């Protein structure tokens, strides 16, 4: 990053090698990257005990006045499910990890609005955590859900009432009829193919990394046409293309009626 601070590289001509600084005889240039945003944090970082994790999810709708801990769930690289105790605005690192027992190893986990919890097991099936409350933030039992026929689910994301999952064949699935009184929903609906990662926001916005025919690389895309009859939308609004591997919009508290575009 320091050597190529502007993102440009220069060469005398094709097919000569490129270098970071322009010379008098350089007539060709290419752009290796460009900056799209800058992040400023207040820090410092709080160190916690070292633990290899492959999936982490935080509560999106935390209320400072509630007096309860912020829900933080994770899946360790060995498939164990963990809940972080004592996480708050004043103590963001929390106290310690609490192991939550499961029947098999897990792969992915997501915390929805009102601390709803979904997870995926190593066999590609789904699980919903039952019994979560302010007095019992880790819940009581796991409710098992079969994967779509012929699919092995690998990544899941939940918002308010929208649950989306990606399978190992890069297909995006939507869980139909998820409601507070019926948190497990009824069935899986195939939404799109060529999806490698999905993220659902607090207002049920659906964003993903998608392979589109007109792009040579993966693009960030937002699902458009969301309505009561089509809660998973009708088409993709494609954005910037690059070799994306992960996306999360869970920290974006946008309006449900945000204008289209990026």
Q: Are 249 and 199 in contact (CB under 8 A)?
A: yes
pLDDT of amino acid 69: 85
Q: Round to whole Å and give the CA distance between 28 and 12.
A: 6
Q: What is the pTM of this model?
A: 0.79
What is the chain's mean pLDDT, rounded? 88
The proportion of the chain whose per-residue pLDDT surpasses 90, expressed as a percent, equals: 59
Phi-psi region of 170 (alpha: psi -120 to 50; beta: other; left: phi over 0): left
Q: Which of 45-59, 72-86, 99-113, 182-196 has the lowest mean pLDDT?
A: 45-59
Q: Round to whole Å and give the CA distance between 119 and 152.
A: 13
Residue 150 pLDDT greater than 80, yes or no:
yes
User: Which pLDDT tens digit goes with each residue over 202-252?
Assistant: 999 999 999 876 656 789 999 999 888 899 999 999 887 777 889 999 887
Q: Round to whole Å and give the CA distance between 36 and 54.
A: 26
CATH 3.30.1330.10 describes domain 54-241: no
Q: Round to whole Å and give the CA distance between 161 and 212.
A: 27
How sure is the predictor about 34, in pLDDT bands with cuts at 50, 70 and 90? confident
**Long-range contacts of residues 23-26, Cβ cutoff 8 Å, at least 24 apart:** none
Each domain of the chain, given as residue ranges in start order, spans 1-40, 54-241
């Amino acid at each position: 990053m320091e050597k190529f601070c502007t993102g440009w590289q220069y060469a005398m001509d094709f097919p000569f090698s490129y270098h970071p600084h322009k010379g008098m005889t350089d007539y060709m240039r290419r752009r290796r990257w460009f900056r799209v945003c800058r992040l400023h944090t207040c820090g410092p970082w709080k160190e916690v005990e070292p633990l290899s994790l492959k999936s982490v999810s935080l509560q999106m709708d935390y209320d400072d006045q509630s007096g309860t801990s912020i829900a933080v769930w994770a899946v360790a690289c060995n498939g164990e499910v963990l809940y972080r105790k004592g996480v708050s605005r004043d103590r963001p690192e929390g106290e310690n990890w609490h192991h939550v027992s499961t029947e098999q190893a897990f792969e992915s986990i997501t915390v929805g609005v009102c601390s709803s919890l979904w997870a995926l097991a190593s066999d590609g099936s789904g699980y919903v955590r039952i019994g979560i409350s302010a007095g019992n933030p880790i819940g009581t039992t796991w409710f098992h859900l079969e994967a779509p026929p012929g699919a092995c689910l690998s990544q899941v994301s939940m918002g308010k009432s929208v649950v989306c999952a990606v399978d190992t064949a890069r297909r995006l699935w939507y869980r139909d009829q998820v409601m507070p009184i019926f948190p497990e929903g009824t069935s899986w609906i195939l939404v799109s193919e060529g999806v490698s990662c999905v993220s659902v926001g607090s207002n049920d916005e659906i964003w993903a990394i998608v392979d589109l025919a007109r792009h040579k690389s993966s693009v960030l895309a937002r699902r458009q046409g969301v309505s009561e009859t089509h809660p998973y939308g009708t088409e993709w609004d494609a954005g910037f293309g690059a070799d994306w591997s992960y996306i999360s919009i869970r920290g974006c508290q946008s309006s449900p009626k945000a204008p289209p575009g990026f």
